[in-house]
Amino acid sequence: MEKQTERIIHGATFSGIFSTIGSVILVASILMFRISIITIIPFIFLIIGLIFLLSIELIEIDYNQRKIRKVLYFIFYKHGKWISFDNFDTLILGADHESFKMVSPVHPFFQKDFNLRAYDIYIVNSNDPTMALLFLSCNNIPLAQEKLKEYSEKLNIEMIDTIKQGWERARERERR
């Protein structure tokens, strides 16, 4: 028997409004500890800040009802609404690159450049580009291509591998 529901966990968000609120609450609790407020309030702030900071983002799929939703999950609370698969028609695999410079806190002349790569699969509605969800993020291309094919078959929707298309265009240019 096939799974009725599936969760694809993206992990702790560490970004967005909830993470920002969590960071502010954590800083406030640390300041309360430093000021020596000896009550339960700093502990409550610390716990609430951690809950907000460590909120988890995931995608839930209900295969029986053919619905999908993006969920922001706190310890006791889920936030997200169900959307029918019929609203989506394509899975797209693309690459996401981010570069940043890390400076040593001890010596400012020691710097290192970091390049991060993620291979993201988005589920989109080609007629309405605002209807797009980050479906899955992978660390390497073979895994991303495997998952793209797997979920395209499970959801019975078209797949587009922009990475493969880019390599094919590059090879074609080399042949000319």
DSSP for 115-145? EEEEEEEEEEETTEEEEEEEEEEESSHHHHH
96-121: b or e for each residue (b if 16 or more CB lie within 10 Å)?
A: eeeeeeeeeeeeeeeeeeeeeeebeb
Name which of 9-13, 78-82, 122-126, 131-135 the model is least confident about.
9-13
Q: Quick check: pTM over 0.75?
A: no
Residue 135 has pLDDT above 80, yes or no: yes
pLDDT of residue 13: 55
74 — pLDDT class (breaks 50, 70, 90): confident
Residue 112 predicted with pLDDT over 60:
yes
Confidence tier at 1 by pLDDT (50, 70, 90): very low
Report the pLDDT value the prediction gives residue 104, as an integer from 0 to 100: 64
Beta-sheet pairing, 83-84 with 78-79: unpaired
Directed axis angle between helix 162-175 and helix 141-155, to 10°? Answer: 120
Q: What percent of the chain has pLDDT over 90?
A: 1
Q: Is the pLDDT of residue 110 over 80?
A: no
